[in-house]
A and B are shown apart, each in its own frame.
Chain A
Amino acid sequence: MAVEEGSRAETLRAFGRALRGARAEAWGNPFGYLFIAPAIVLYLVFNIWPLLRGFTMAFTDYRFIYPDTIWDFNGLGNFAEMVNDRAFWRAFNVSIRYTIMVIPTLLVLAMIIAVLISRVRNLAGFYRWIIYLPTILPIAVTLLMWREFYDPTFGFINVTLRHWGVQNPPKWLGDVKLALYCVAVTDIWRSFGFPALLFIIGIYNINRELYEAAAIDGASGWMQFWKITLPLLRPVLTLVLVLNSNILGATEQMMVMTGGGPQNATMSLGLFLYNMAFQFGDLRLGYAAAIGLAVGLLGATMTAFWFRVLRPKEV
């Protein structure tokens, strides 16, 4: 009996030791948590809290100049208003067109540049540096610089065009048909360096033997790109698309370069909600948060779509 009890106690102790060991193994050194605690707290305060606050705000009629409205919940009222808001749909249309202009161009350009740089034998580092340079410029500097380029009278582009004999060069940002394209060009120039760099890294990681084998089999350069490079860059492509899924909310480009004009041709959703929250009348933070939530959900849907379409095919 005593032997049995002793054996049971031993078993329990062994179980306890195993459990503690498992805990220690799973959780590691507790000091690690101490070190990451500040980052976690900052993340909670500056990322999670605004997210939750924005989410709850989207269901209120909070108007900043009326502090008492801070918790005026109105259910889905903001979303119903959004559906019937002509200005919202105009801005939505601009944002969709802008997305269609920027994303495919960005991808194709970054891919072409990446493939070209991956093939050069000399000065590849220099070219990588050059293409990444616009990305590290402060966004305001980039946008103001391009705004000056587009200046109808004194801008670099029109001065050059006049020098070449063009009598009436376009007004660029002042032209209702061209303004959105001009902003898109600026945005593409500013941001293509990062995806290009990702593609370059992806290409460098592709086993060269695959290309050699394909070449032996008689595959052309185009076939190699189509059958080897592109499929193997699928994860990078997904990453690039996911990182750019916030483009629907593009704001600062239009704010700095055009202010949404001319004739609202560049009034994007982001700028529209900014105006709603910080410029117009009652400063309707609740409605603006609802628009922001809708934009965020659209971005999330786009992300899910990319994941779905571009997920690796099972062999």
Chain B
Amino acid sequence: MLGNRVSRRRFLTATLGASAAALLASCAPAQPAPGAPAAVKEEAKPAPKKAEEIHFLCRPDIKPAYAADQAVKTWNETYESQVILDEPPAGTPVDVKIQAAQAAGDLVWDGYWVMVMPHDAISWTSRRIIQPFDPFMEATSIPNADKILPAIIPSIRESCTYEGKIVGMPGNVGSVGLAWAWEPLRAIGLDDQPYTWDGVYEAAREIKKAKPDLVPFGSACTPLCELWTMIWSAQKDPFDENGLYDIRGEASIAALKWLRKMVEEGLMYSEGINTGLSQWLKGGWAMIICYDVAGTMAQNTFGVDKYETGINYFPDYPETNAGSPFWINSGVVLNKAANPQGFTDFCCWWFGPDNDATGKQITEVAAKPCYTYTYEKFVKDNPLYAWEQKAIDLCAKSVPFPHNTTHGIQGSMARPHVEKYIDLNVPLEPEVWVNEAYKDIQDEIAKQKLG
């Protein structure tokens, strides 16, 4: 009966209209957050005053590493404004999520932690995801906030600065260093890490004799952890005339020969060098060149007397040349944030000189804080964290990564070539290798707009 009263065309029109309306409604910009200034202006009657909200998006692993929960709790008890801690939604990469929210006009977060500096700086800035901290740091009323910038270690500050502005507030530094299990090292009579290429080679040989079940040496991530790092260790300037990692230089050739020799003598795997970290953590490898946080992870898991982290190794230590590659886990103020000043205030308090709890936590868990006052309070004269002091001293004089979008490309293009070079089934001269790898890198970069 109803079918005779409503024509299909009318019904479909009505259904599609309703669906389109619902879709449009769902796409409309969200209402401003409660308590936001715009909402207050539009209220006809004065609403009861609410505490200012700071919406802080935080990567889950950063929470324990930086004691974020405790910091938020303390802040909320101390200050009138209230920090609301949120975690990135699952599935979508967080930068895409933020960018989509910004484009739709329904961004709820004021800041995010963690962006990796300097690798993400261009991408996040050109996509207008972030804005500089500078104006908000100048305007902050947090006590002693003026001591923060001067306390940032210069090479770290350089990495966090893009186009003359501080775009990332540094939290802690990651760098590449040698990590080891103490048992095999002590078995060959060492009570400290080997600091030279030859020293690592000799130690690996001794370990092979003393502990034949162990793989003496490995790398956590190719080519960052061995080839790039060895170039850093052997040259003052790790970049060539095109601003690319100098894989055609003498240091690179020497590093490749060193790696090949290690494989030929059975001191490291030729295959699967990227699985090194798990192999090392499972106890299958004695030494590994890796992100130094891995050493902290191993210590926290197995005990400080079992595993240790050090610094890079060099051809002629104590000459450290360009040092070691390093990067910074940073916080960012989001573009179009409702309360960028509030987030900056919170960050200035969080990492400021008066918040000892966070400094202590970063020293203990995340490792290698970025501020000199943290070292003076928690690292200096503490033998447990001596390696952090040594590593940060190296980072302080290391050559930072440049701001570019080609870091990932160079790594991805060089990686199969490194794997090929140390494959004993493939007889290959290093000079041939570097030319092949360099051509692939250049070809891929040519496909990009910016270098």
Residues of A within 8 A of B (CB): 20, 23-24, 27-31, 33-34, 37-38, 40-41, 45, 63-67, 81, 86-87, 151-154, 171, 173-176, 259-264, 267, 275, 278-284, 287
Contacts and interface: CB of A to CB of B under 8 A. Distances in A.
A264 B416 contact: yes
A154 B272 CA distance: 13
A275 B19 CA distance: 36
Interface in B410-451: 412, 415-417, 419-420, 423, 425, 440, 443-445, 447-450
A281 B271 contact: no
B8 A281 contact: no
B272 A174 contact: yes
Contacts of A176: 271, 419-420, 423, 425
A23 B415 CA distance: 65
20 contacts: A29-B2, A31-B2, A33-B11, A40-B19, A41-B22, A41-B23, A65-B123, A66-B126, A66-B127, A151-B279, A152-B272, A153-B282, A154-B284, A174-B269, A176-B271, A261-B415, A262-B271, A263-B416, A282-B450, A287-B447
Interface stretch (B68-76, B286-294, B303-311, B401-409): B401-409
Interface of B is mostly: helix
Contacts, number: 122
Nearest to A87: B444
A169 to B, nearest CB: 12
Contacts of B405: 65, 281-282
A86 B416 CA distance: 14
B444 A280 contact: yes
A174 B275 contact: yes
A48 B340 CA distance: 38
Contacts of B269: 152, 171, 174
Given A29-B2, A261-B419, A65 B8 contact: no
A79 B417 CA distance: 27
B65 interface: no
Given A64-B127, A175-B271, A280-B412, A33 B449 contact: no
| 8 closest cross-chain pairs (CB), A and B | A174-B272, A174-B271, A281-B448, A171-B271, A24-B3, A153-B284, A264-B416, A263-B416
B436 to A, nearest CB: 11
Contacts of B23: 41, 45
Q: Give the interface centre of B409, B443, B447, B448 by most chain A CB atoms within 10 Å.
A: B447
B300 interface: no
B93 interface: yes
B12 interface: yes
A86 B443 contact: yes
A262 B416 contact: yes
B177 to A, nearest CB: 23
Contacts of B282: 153-154
B445 A281 contact: yes
Contacts of A24: 3-4
A145 B215 CA distance: 23
B174 to A, nearest CB: 19
B8 A263 contact: no
A30 B275 contact: no
B122 interface: yes
A31 B6 CA distance: 10
Contact of A81 (B284, B416, B423, B447): B447
Interface string B119-153: 00011001110000000000000000000000000
Residue with the highest number of chain A CB atoms closer than 10 Å, among B19, B271, B445: B271
Given A33-B12, A67-B127, A278 B409 contact: no
A87 B442 CA distance: 13
A283 B15 CA distance: 39
Contact of B274 (A152, A259, A279): A259
Contacts of A278: 93
Contacts of A152: 269, 271-272, 275
Given A24-B3, A45-B23, 13 more contacts: A24-B4, A30-B6, A37-B19, A65-B126, A66-B126, A151-B279, A152-B272, A262-B272, A278-B93, A281-B405, A281-B445, A282-B405, A283-B123
Nearest to A259: B274
A278 B92 CA distance: 11
B31 interface: no
Contacts of B443: 86-87
Contacts of B78: none
B242 interface: no
Interface string B1-22: 0111011100110010011001
A66 B125 CA distance: 10
A23 B271 contact: no
A27 B262 CA distance: 75
A66 B448 CA distance: 11
A264 B274 CA distance: 13
Contact of B409 (A175, A280, A287): A280
B274 A261 contact: yes
Question: Which of B8, B273, B279 has the most A CB atoms < 10 Å from its CB?
Answer: B8
Contacts of B2: 29-31
A250 B6 CA distance: 48
Nearest to A154: B282
B89 to A, nearest CB: 17
Interface in B30-74: none
Contacts of B215: 153
